[in-house]
Chain A
Amino acid sequence: MLSWMIFSPLIGMAAILAMPRNRPDMVRWAAVITTAVPLALGVMVFSQFDRSTAAMQFVEQVSWIAPFNIEYYVGIDGLSVPMVLLTVLLSFICIFASWNIENGVKGYFSMFLLLESAMLGVFCALDFFLFFVFWEVMLLPMYFLIGIWGGANKVYAATKFFLYTLAGSVLMLLVMLGMYFTTEPHTFNLLHLANLHPFSTLTMNLFGWQLPMDKVFFVALFIGFAIKVPIWPFHTWLPWAHVEAPTAVSVILAGVLLKMGTYGILRISYPILPSATLWAADAMAILGVISILYGAFCAMAQKDLKKLVAYSSVSHMGYVVLGMASLTTAGVNGAVLQMFNHGTSTAMLFLLVGVIYDRAHHRWIVKPDGSRGFGGIASVVPVYTGVMAIAVFASLGLPGLSGFISEALVFLGAFSVPRFQMYVIIGSLGIVLGAAYLLWMFMRVFLGPLNEEWSGLTDMNWRERFTLIPLTILVVVLGVYPMPVLKLMGTTVAKLLTSLT
């Protein structure tokens, strides 16, 4: 089942590549059908998923490269199910969002499907080697998607994204090999590594210093994943990548790719290096809070809509990191829920920015020369404004919408740890700032006197509404009753934390 889900996009890709070049609509509908398959499988997985056990489900284990006992070991548990569902849903939606891609339609959709299968692979991989392979495979299509179909200086952004993430994954590769060689029956299998986790006792020689091995591994892995999250010092690629990426790609980038980093930490660093996790929890919390505030401050100063949303993603992912670092039930559950909620709300924001960009071909809230970019377009495009309001208030953390629950849980978890209380209070400034920059943007773009230049805007057509309806429903329903998603991850997080405390 899982392998079908991971590799069905590839089958679709092959079919698309075989199609004639001059039939873009055929290619698009093929892409729709191809992404519909994993969506259906995803729904089946969701229904058949057993919430009570924390063990891996839908496991498929086949030896892949025998001499190095690398296996094609795939399985999902409470941690990866929400992510898989998110990926499958967003990919399906993004196909419709990229309906007006004109040049190189075949190339675009085949790259997109490759990206989708790589993402699903990462979330389902239980073998470190397989995880790394999918991680790298994912980079490739992203590079082309941004590099070819991107905005003004798309090549710069694509290269920067690629090299930055690649640098991170180099560290990951080193740790992977380090783990492979130090474990007695050389293995890449994450579950074995989790049971063995011998690294806390060993020490390693690094440029002459005798350092504890698990802490070095943790830091290396953390940097590799932090680049992806992105956490504060490593975030500078995100605004570039988002500004230059086409709408659908930046939706996927924000909706799913950012979660890879935190997912990686929870899947690899936490179970395998428990002692190092406890040691590094404080540092992670501080970095999380810095990300929250840094993202919020920078977001307020942005003049470009997409860059603002990009920095807001940095801020929201800061919550996830803070939640993870608290190592409490509420905190970690909140973090994983926030990963899911942020996925839906930011995806909505990016889709909406895409809608306005398709019509006005610019995204300036305030033009660089200070004159008004958009102004008071609420009267011209009421439906669009309504949906944007929901998206803004969801990511703002308004109770009744999904953003609030995860933020509340994260703060609850973090606050219950005595030494994190000061971080939480500083972090709560992030909530206020979050409200500030989002509402300020909402005000400058939608409210106030109409800027005649944009009186000709047309409201959303049915295709765009179709992309937004599922996300809106998710945001509202999860806001009112979050248990369906929380139930998925509850037992797994509990088991994860037992191994940590």
Chain B
Amino acid sequence: MSETAKIILVLFQLLTLASALLVTFSPNILYASISLLFAFLGVAIMFLYAGADFLAGVQVVVYIGGVTILVLFAIMLTSWMYQVKLRDSRGKLIVPLLLALFGLLPFLYQGAQHLASRVLRTVPPDFQTFAYSPKTNAVGEALLGNYLLPFEGITVLLLGALVGAVWLARPK
């Protein structure tokens, strides 16, 4: 990868992180939802750079197109946030923050780095060809080949969720 590509990737990673920060800490839920959108976009780009182009597309379609809009709808249907600004438990954030910084983060980070360094010791032979080859037909073959059973299972799940959501949200 060329240098500029790497820079673009880093930029998008920073975008993802910043939007993720906004999602968790912004007092207004609407802003949080929109920042979530951008976070998904950053993630899609990262997928792209990781050679998962089909997934990046799916990500964009499903997450950005679907889930975020769904969330916006939910916000509008529920708490007229204009009148009622849910008072976040601002004061109480100090404890989780500390916990995260000193408790969770160092260990997750150290674990990941340790894992990564061990993984990178052996680079798979067809690294290059895989990284930059289109994956759609591979995914298609895999879905209907090795992963036929989960594919079918997931369809049943979607059906269940669909029916459930409709029944749950029906008007009285």
Direct contact of A and B (CB under 8 A): no
Task: Please report A residues at the B interface, Cβ cutoff 8 Å.
Answer: none
